[in-house]
Amino acid sequence: MCKEGEEEEILTMKKMWRGAGAAALATALVAVQNVASAQGSSVGSSTVTSPVVQQGDHDPFYDTAGLAAGEPGEVLKTAQAAYSNIFGPYHYNLPRTATKIMYSTLNSVGESTPVTGYVVEPVTPWSGPGPRPTLVIGRGTVGQGDQCAPSKNWPLDGQPDPVAAGRLVNLEGLYDWIFASNGVRVVVTDYVGMGTPGVHTYMNKDDQAHAMLDAARAAREIVQGNGQEFGQVGFYGHSQGGGASAAALETAATYAPDLSVAGGYASAPPADLDAVQRNIDGSDLVGAIGFTINGLLERFPHLPPMLDEHLSTQGHQTLNRLADMCTREITEEFGYQTTDQWTTTGQRLDELLADLPEAREAMDAQFIGHGKPVAPAMIVSGQHDLNVEYLQGKQLAQRWCAAGGAVVYRDDFMPKIGEYNHFAQAVTGGVFGMQFMLDRFRNKPVVGACAIPDAPPGSVEGSVAGSGEMAITGSQVTGS
């Protein structure tokens, strides 16, 4: 246990490193954009400023009262929002506005539910073959509270500054800029239950896959409604977004066969929640385990009575607090706790769930890797990632390859920098992921598919005992 002074020192160092990481992310992604964009610059800064949405503020756009249930991907409402003018008078091929959308999706139990997000329509022409492509981006873990939703945050203009507000995950909004400046339409989903009624079902495989796929359908409705052709679709994400992208790729063939999917990128995908949970317990992001449990309790109504008797008073209070928090808040309030403090038995949550068959079944239902991707995929996993377990990400690539998928796999090249490897991979993996997706939209051949290297002995920092020991056999690859 840390003494009080030591805890304050760790927190101060943590804030300093996160601030440095934020600057590095912004610098690196803008640098990548400058290299990747081959188009001339023509768009200035936004001249419209939306009011900043603070926690507790009411934004009528997110009201769902009186809305009829729609078909999957049906647009329920739209609103224009100013896009960030962070570059002031400098021109970065960015539109002045984005379109906030509310659309319908099916959750994992088949219920129609509204989801929000936003669409960035480029001003740069698409220079590749066919109509302008659309990339659906799933953000990394932003939190579970409604105020954490990507459409309520930067880079929509006037929303909380990601550095000042400590919502550094929203710096992934720079992905929007890079793809839009290359002529690719971008759609960002808020996922199920973030900004809309209910608890955000964090890491629910089908909820996240359907939200991604139906975001593409919603964009298609808007594009075709404007008399334009709708082109190929791709999926992109890091961390939670990597899991959402992977789930969308695996689910698209059965849930959305009407979409022409060019490919997808999944960085640090939490494909095996059991391995991820054991890895993240006791880390700075241990609160994400609570996000997962809250999501399971929301979607599986038979679980709350079962878990109630096994959760301590601290456990109940923690889960209730986490349901309304963003990622920075969970690291500051709950970072480095272990979940044995949340149970009456003194077991960690992964041990407790293993003893409860119904809870184990609900967790196992979120496993990604029983099928194969509908299109070529790139997966990046980090040997030094202390949050999302390394080997389970590599195993996803192996499973997909065994099932006949075309998967380009990369170990993240970042050297060990402690808990910051996971955050850094949004950049270090993204350098390859962005080019991979642009190549898919340009119909270039996939190079290096299923050439998956073994992990160097003794080099895996981000793995826990018992993970990655399962051989990949044909019996483990089944259709989904």
Query: For the segment 81-94, what is each residue's pLDDT rounded down to a tens digit?
Result: 988 766 666 656 78
Q: Of the ranges 151-160, 292-301, 470-479, which one carries the lowest mean pLDDT score?
A: 470-479
**Confidence (pLDDT) at 24:** 41
What confidence score (pLDDT) does residue 464 get? 47
Rounded to whole angstroms, the Cα distance separating 340 from 319 reads 14
Pick from 18-27, 299-308, 346-355, 425-434: least confident: 18-27
Give pLDDT, residue 89: 60
Q: Averaged over 99-124, what is the pLDDT?
A: 96
pLDDT band for position 163 (50/70/90)?
Answer: confident
Count of domains in the chain? Answer: 1
In this prediction, residue 68 has a pLDDT band, given cuts at 50, 70 and 90, of confident
Would you state the pLDDT for residue 418? 82
Mean predicted lDDT score pLDDT of the chain: 84
Can you tell me which residue has the tokens 């459409």? 151
- Asked if residue 313 is part of any domain, the answer here is yes
Q: What is the pLDDT of residues 378-437, one digit of tens each?
A: 999 999 999 999 999 999 999 999 999 999 999 999 999 988 899 899 999 999 999 999
169 or 294: which leads in pLDDT: 294
Percent share of the chain, pLDDT over 70: 80
Domain assignment of residue 315, yes or no: yes
| Structural domain contains residue 171 | no
Residue 69: which pLDDT band, with cuts at 50, 70 and 90? confident
Domain for residue 118, yes or no?
no
Tell me how long the chain is. Answer: 480
Find out whether 189 and 115 touch, Cβ atoms under 8 Å. Answer: yes
- pLDDT band with cut points at 50, 70 and 90 for residue 16: very low
Least confident of 279-293, 321-335, 463-477: 463-477
- Tell me whether the omega of the peptide bond preceding residue 60 falls within 30 degrees of 0, making it cis: no
Residue with tokens 């909004």: 173
CATH number, domain of 306, equals: 1.10.260
Q: Which pLDDT does position 90 carry in this prediction?
A: 60
Pairwise CA distance, residues 78 & 70, whole Å: 14
Residues 6+ apart with CB under 8 A from 433: 236, 265, 267, 378, 380
In a domain, 297, yes or no: yes
Percent of the chain with pLDDT over 90: 70
343 falls within a domain = yes
- Sheet with 75-82, side-by-side order of all strands: 75-82, 97-106, 112-120, 185-189, 134-138, 233-238, 261-267, 377-381, 407-411
pLDDT value of residue 38: 34
Question: Is 330 inside any structural domain?
Answer: yes
Residue 382, pLDDT score: 94
Three-class SS state of 97: strand
Supply the range of the domain harboring residue 296: 274-364
Does a structural domain hold residue 88?
A: no
Q: Which helix (H) or strand (E) holds 174?
A: helix 173-181
How far apart (Å, rounded) are the C-alpha atoms in residues 37 and 155?
19
Distance CA(129)–CA(133), nearest Å, equals 9
Of 39-43, 327-331, 383-387, which range is least confident?
39-43
pLDDT of residue 112: 96
